[in-house]
């Protein structure tokens, strides 16, 4: 039922736009991810042959959103490291288990990765640098995400999840900074798995408690 309602909302947007319906802007409040429209993935160099990509399927966050005071906004995010998805079918070995295992992401010892923002620096009309404490493999280091606000609505009658705001985020970290150094190539070589890891997030966050006009 929920799926049908969301699909109806998406399909209805062009018709609503034609009627010049004012959907408003997302108001200040507490927002959480819409799981169907949230993805977190990473890219790392593999042997110099390819840029390997994988994602996490269980991501949660709490965003204190305030469009009038963006520098005052804050976010806390939690990633279930064991929810890694490599899209490699388990045949002779379980690649999900290998990458999330003790040599790499170490999910058995540290099942969660977290990010807690400490500062938001506005860089443009819809962009900001979000700095905070990233904890991975039990190690906490500062990290800065380049964030873009992609727009949203305050109230759309066919959206059962309330106010909605969309964001794109990206950062690059060194896994060695978090004590994950297995397979890093020797200097001058690409024989291994790269130290630098690019992280990307695409998300739509919703607030079902937002006031309705």
In a domain, 16, yes or no: no
In a domain, 156, yes or no: yes
Q: What is the pLDDT of residue 18?
A: 39
- Alpha carbon dihedral 90, 91, 94, 98, in 10-degree steps, equals -130
In a domain, 130, yes or no: yes
Number of compact structural domains in the chain: 1
Question: What tokens appear for 67 in the block?
Answer: 């469009």
- Domain of 100: which CATH number? 2.40.128.110
| Distance in angstroms (rounded) separating the CA atoms of residues 86 and 55 | 7
Q: What is the pLDDT of residue 53?
A: 97
In a domain, 6, yes or no: no
In a domain, 4, yes or no: no
Q: Could you tell me where the beta strands, DSSP code E, fall in the chain?
A: 29-46, 50-56, 59-65, 74-80, 84-85, 112-122, 127-136, 139-153, 163-174, 193-207
Tell me, yes or no, if the pTM score tops 0.85: yes
- Nearest CA to 77 out of 129, 29, 38 is that of 38
Q: What is the pLDDT of residue 200?
A: 98
pLDDT (tens place) for every residue of the chain, 213 residues total: 545 555 555 555 554 543 456 799 999 999 999 999 999 999 999 999 999 999 999 999 999 999 999 999 999 999 999 999 999 876 778 889 999 999 999 999 999 999 999 999 999 999 999 999 999 999 999 999 999 999 999 999 889 999 999 999 999 999 999 999 999 999 999 999 999 999 999 999 999 999 886
In a domain, 21, yes or no: no
Q: Find the domain containing 97 and state its range.
A: 29-207
Instruction: State the greatest distance between any 2 C-alpha atoms of the chain, in Å, as a whole number.
Output: 61
In a domain, 20, yes or no: no
Q: What is the pLDDT of residue 93?
A: 80
In a domain, 2, yes or no: no
């Amino acid at each position: 039922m929920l799926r049908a309602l969301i699909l109806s909302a998406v399909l209805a947007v062009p018709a609503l736009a034609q009627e010049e319906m004012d959907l408003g802007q997302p108001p200040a409040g507490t927002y959480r991810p819409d799981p169907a429209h949230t993805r977190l993935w990473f890219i790392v160099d593999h042997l110099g042959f390819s840029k390997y990509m994988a994602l996490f399927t269980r991501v949660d966050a709490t965003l204190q959103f305030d469009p009038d005071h963006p520098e005052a906004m804050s976010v806390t995010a939690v990633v279930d490291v064991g929810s890694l998805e490599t899209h490699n079918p388990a045949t002779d070995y379980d690649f999900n288990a290998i990458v999330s295992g003790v040599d790499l992401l170490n999910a058995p010892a540290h099942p969660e990765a977290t990010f807690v923002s400490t500062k938001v620096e506005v860089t443009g009309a819809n962009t900001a640098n979000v700095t905070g404490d990233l904890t991975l493999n039990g190690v906490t280091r500062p990290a800065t995400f380049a964030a873009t606000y992609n727009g949203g609505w305050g109230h759309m009658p066919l959206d059962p999840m309330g106010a909605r705001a969309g964001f794109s985020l990206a950062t690059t970290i060194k896994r060695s900074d978090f004590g994950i150094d297995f397979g890093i190539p020797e200097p001058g070589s690409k024989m291994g798995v790269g130290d630098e890891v690019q992280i990307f997030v695409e998300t739509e966050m919703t607030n079902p408690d937002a006031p309705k006009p």
